Structure 1
């Protein structure tokens, strides 16, 4: 499996190198990379909450995200329910990372973060990522409804896994976060 993870980006690059730039196939890379960045920022959220008694689940914040996405989706030509479904996967993936890190840190206290980030500084970055993700959902609408979406997504997710050097926890979260990408 690790060999595939190493070879997949090379194979993808070779395939894309043989296609003229003007004819390069559309890709889910930017969307998947943004999803991976959002998975990664969950580490900071986990560190901000660890040891404070703050729950990982934050229904008020989650609903704010869903309401914002649903309100902005139509102006981008997106179905609000589809957009909310995609963002629900992002939130659940973030909580997966947070729970995993909290468990890891409880079991191995020496690995726990030495500093605690401020959530009020992290949330604007997440909001910017959400804006980018929403724009990419709109930009990739045709790809996400195409029969080839699952295969393209698999390639993009494998490349993101390697590029971001995800461990098993983050790779699992990336799979969860991309689960609602294709609409086929």
Structure 2
């Protein structure tokens, strides 16, 4: 039994490595350890590995949009931070947060998705946005020259957030199998790395992106 479990673990790692090498357009390299596990599979493992690799590629295609939309939502955190800057208003807004959670749960139910999983993921999205907002406010306090000189209309910003929320709920609804797959975590790591690379995220937004994706994989 222990041998079978070890073989399954090695297969999962090998599949993730294969997706890293072929599914990212070369933006992110596979870790050497995973690449080593992916080489020279046994004859008995070849057929299952091929099927699992196809499944992993499909899963990566579902997880990529979740990472991309999460980064897009985080970008609105910059605008929210600027809208609140200098107003004395708090970063935390429990009423607004509950409004968002109720809305995404309702949309998930209408799409036939799991509302509890959707709410769990969105709680992380909200906390990640607050990571950005707090981080920017600290930065602007420390160096007022970096602070925004204009204040965005928060109502307009929230319209954009609501648009992204809708897309993100649909992406969650399309990805239940990918999010429950045993290789979800490594594939999501690759997707996030690609987003960081493509969007040139700074340290603050990298940390926030990781926070936003914490509950994407079931059992994470």
Same fold (TM over 0.5): yes
Could you tell me which of 192, 197, 208 is aligned with 1:173?
A: 208
TM-score, normalisation: structure 2: 0.73
Q: Which structure would you say has the larger Rg?
A: 2
User: Unmatched 5+ residue regions in structure 1?
Assistant: 1-7, 16-22
Could you tell me which of 168, 177, 184 is aligned with 1:133?
A: 168
Could you tell me which of 69, 77, 96 is aligned with 1:34?
A: 69
Structure having greater relative contact order (Cα 8 Å, sep ≥ 6): 1
Could you tell me which of 135, 139, 142 is aligned with 2:177?
A: 142
Contact kept in structure 2, 1:9 and 1:159, CA below 8 Å = no
Residue 119 (structure 1) shift: 0.3
Contact kept in structure 2, 1:39 and 1:170, CA below 8 Å = yes
Looking at structure 2, the residues matched to 165 and 102 of structure 1 have their Cα atoms a distance apart, in angstroms, of 21
Looking at structure 1, the residues matched to 23 and 94 of structure 2 have their Cα atoms a distance apart, in angstroms, of 42
1:25 aligns with 2:57: yes
TM-score, normalisation: structure 1: 0.87
Looking at structure 1, the residues matched to 112 and 186 of structure 2 have their Cα atoms a distance apart, in angstroms, of 24
Name 1:82's counterpart in structure 2. Answer: 117
Give the secondary-structure state (helix, strand or coil) at the position aligned to 1:25: helix
Name 1:12's counterpart in structure 2. Answer: 24
Looking at structure 1, the residues matched to 23 and 191 of structure 2 have their Cα atoms a distance apart, in angstroms, of 12
Looking at structure 1, the residues matched to 137 and 98 of structure 2 have their Cα atoms a distance apart, in angstroms, of 23
Looking at structure 2, the residues matched to 38 and 50 of structure 1 have their Cα atoms a distance apart, in angstroms, of 19
Residue 131 (structure 1) shift: 0.2
Could you tell me which of 140, 149, 155 is aligned with 2:190?
A: 155
Give CA-to-partner distance per residue, 1:125-178, whole Å, 9 cap, x none: 000000000000011111001001001100000001111111100000000001
Residue 77 (structure 1) shift: 2.2
User: Unmatched 5+ residue regions in structure 2?
Assistant: 1-19, 28-53
Aligned residues: 170
Looking at structure 2, the residues matched to 178 and 9 of structure 1 have their Cα atoms a distance apart, in angstroms, of 22
